[in-house]
Amino acid sequence: MMRGNDLIINVTHREKRVALLEAGQLAELHIELAGDRGIVGNIYKGRVLRVLPGMQAAFVDIGLDRAAFLYVADVREHIDDYEMLRAAQEDDNGGLDAPPHEQETTDETLDREAIEGAASAPPEEEQPEPAIEELLHEGQEIMVQVAKEPIGTKGARITSHITLPARNLVLMPNMDHIGVSRRIENDAERTRLRELVEAIRPEGMGFIVRTAAESKDEEALRADTDFLLGMWQNIHKKSRTARAPSLLHSDLSITQRAIRDLFNAEIERVVIDSKEEYEKILSFLGKHMPKVNYKIELYELDEPIFDHFGLEVEIARALQRKVWLKSGGYIVIEQTEALTAIDVNTGRFVGKRNLEDTILKTNLEAVKEICYQLRLRNIGGIIIIDFIDMEKESNREKVFSSLSESLNNDRAKTNIFKISELGLVEMTRKRIRDSISRVLSEPCPYCEGKGYVKSKTSICSEIFREIKREIPNHLGKNLILSVHPDIADMLYEDERSGIEFLERKYDKRISIQDKSNYHIEQFEIIGT
């Protein structure tokens, strides 16, 4: 029997992990390490450091280690107009009594809906784009929002086009139009939603109607409108007195973002292993999504929740270069800072009829796995896929059509180009944050950055999970944990609280021994 879609949430003192299961299979994985929350959607008051006419861009100090990058297309032409606009809105609305900020903006889903919604709005008259030096000058203070996380050596990508999302709507305070997500396909429903929002929005304020708003009534849309306008007023008020650089608005936790953006009618249940986070989710749902039918389960079994749902194996698989196909073929995924290359090989698969049929079957099977891995690993940017060469044009068309169809399920925006004579497909996938391999790994000290091993924080989290598994098998009072010296240092210092927590919880003493001959990922647990 086909299994439904679930959200599985694992919360520890070190990390929060959210897994989206579709028909029982891991489709997406989102990870947030403690003290390392993402900044996409954060709104800052920044100061322009340098204007670069040759690049038509500017560097802006928003208070991070590296200056953020602002491209000319992301600069509003009349960047100070919102002062007059918001003053008028405050007079019109008498000061909305809205909840304090609890939302963030721009993940993959929202980004795609905003693009599609804006595209569905009436086109504005073409105007020549002003140069960056006409819009900004050094020392100028501006309000900006992070559109892309800092990745590698690159600073954050920012924009002055602010967007604030709720469950059903996205507020665009500096744009004066209404857009509707193209994923709402019924023309009558699109018209109904557009007219509802037009009736309740303040003059001069723009909105995108999200996919989740389909079939929603005026009350639900008005609640989102009031909430978002109140949030914008709070942000705008704070910007008047804040000194640049400073943070004006921060995002939700990863669990609340998952509920807001991934939780839909197709999700049968949410299962979470933290009582504290479980109660926060119930409160969040009651406050922001009171009419949504939901099934939230608190997981209380001894077996770690990701083990119970078979997810650890899939996560480990997502870090491997080589991924085997069921037929015996395989794909190899190589990630660099500039692009990702994916190579398809027949491997052990020899087929039953002729070489062309064998190649076609391998390529078609690889298409499904590639689309799955791109989404699971959150691979973005430029992607080159090297399919096995096919002689027949009809076979190349079959593979291309299958790739196009499979990418329709991807929430990230993608663009693909026809298969070349060499069997190569060039494509792009919207990149908002680091891929899973970069989150869970760091440059390998053994090969000077040519490959990757798990990060020390990831290894410590794995050790804590393994201790929980092993403790029921050891009746003694002591556990001896043998690890690489670097891991031992981290367990003694940064992760000491985690060791002490396990000692108190299970009434055991955990002794740490460093082994200089151990690989950094190697560890051993012995009970005495």
My answer on whether 476 and 523 are in the same domain is yes
My answer on whether 59 and 185 are in the same domain is yes
Per the domain annotation, does 448 fall within a domain? no
pLDDT digit of tens for each residue in the chain (528 aa)?
Answer: 346 789 999 999 888 999 999 888 898 898 888 766 778 889 999 999 999 999 999 999 999 889 999 999 899 765 544 333 333 333 333 332 222 233 333 344 444 454 444 444 444 455 567 899 999 999 999 999 998 888 767 889 999 999 998 888 999 998 888 999 888 889 999 999 999 999 999 888 999 998 888 888 888 888 889 888 988 988 989 999 899 999 999 877 888 888 877 777 678 899 999 999 999 888 888 776 666 677 899 999 999 999 999 999 889 888 888 999 988 889 999 988 778 999 999 887 666 667 888 889 999 999 999 999 999 998 988 999 999 988 888 998 999 999 999 998 787 888 999 888 777 999 999 876 778 888 888 777 776 666 677 889 999 999 999 998 888 877 678 889 999 999 999 999 989 999 999 998 888 899 999 999 998 889 999 887
Per the domain annotation, does 203 fall within a domain? yes
Chain center to CA of 368: 21
Among candidate residues 436, 464, 495, the one where a domain is terminated: 436
Residue 283 is predicted with a pLDDT of 86
Residue 351 is predicted with a pLDDT of 60
Per the domain annotation, does 449 fall within a domain? no
Per the domain annotation, does 257 fall within a domain? no
Q: How many domains does the chain have?
A: 4
CATH code at position 52 = 2.40.50.140
Sheet holding 169-172, edge to edge: 164-165, 169-172, 206-209, 178-180
My answer on whether 291 and 425 are in the same domain is no
On whether the CB atoms of residues 229 and 202 are closer than 8 A, the answer is yes
Residue 77 is predicted with a pLDDT of 65
189-216 burial code (b ≥16 CB/10 A, e <16) = ebebbbebbeeebeebbbbbbbbbbbeb
Residue 59 is predicted with a pLDDT of 95
Residue 30 belongs to domain spanning:
5-36+272-311
DSSP, collapsed to helix, strand or coil, labels residue 86 as helix
Spatial CB neighbours of 116, under 8 Å, sequence gap ≥ 6: 179, 181, 182, 183
Residue 99 is predicted with a pLDDT of 29
Per the domain annotation, does 418 fall within a domain? yes
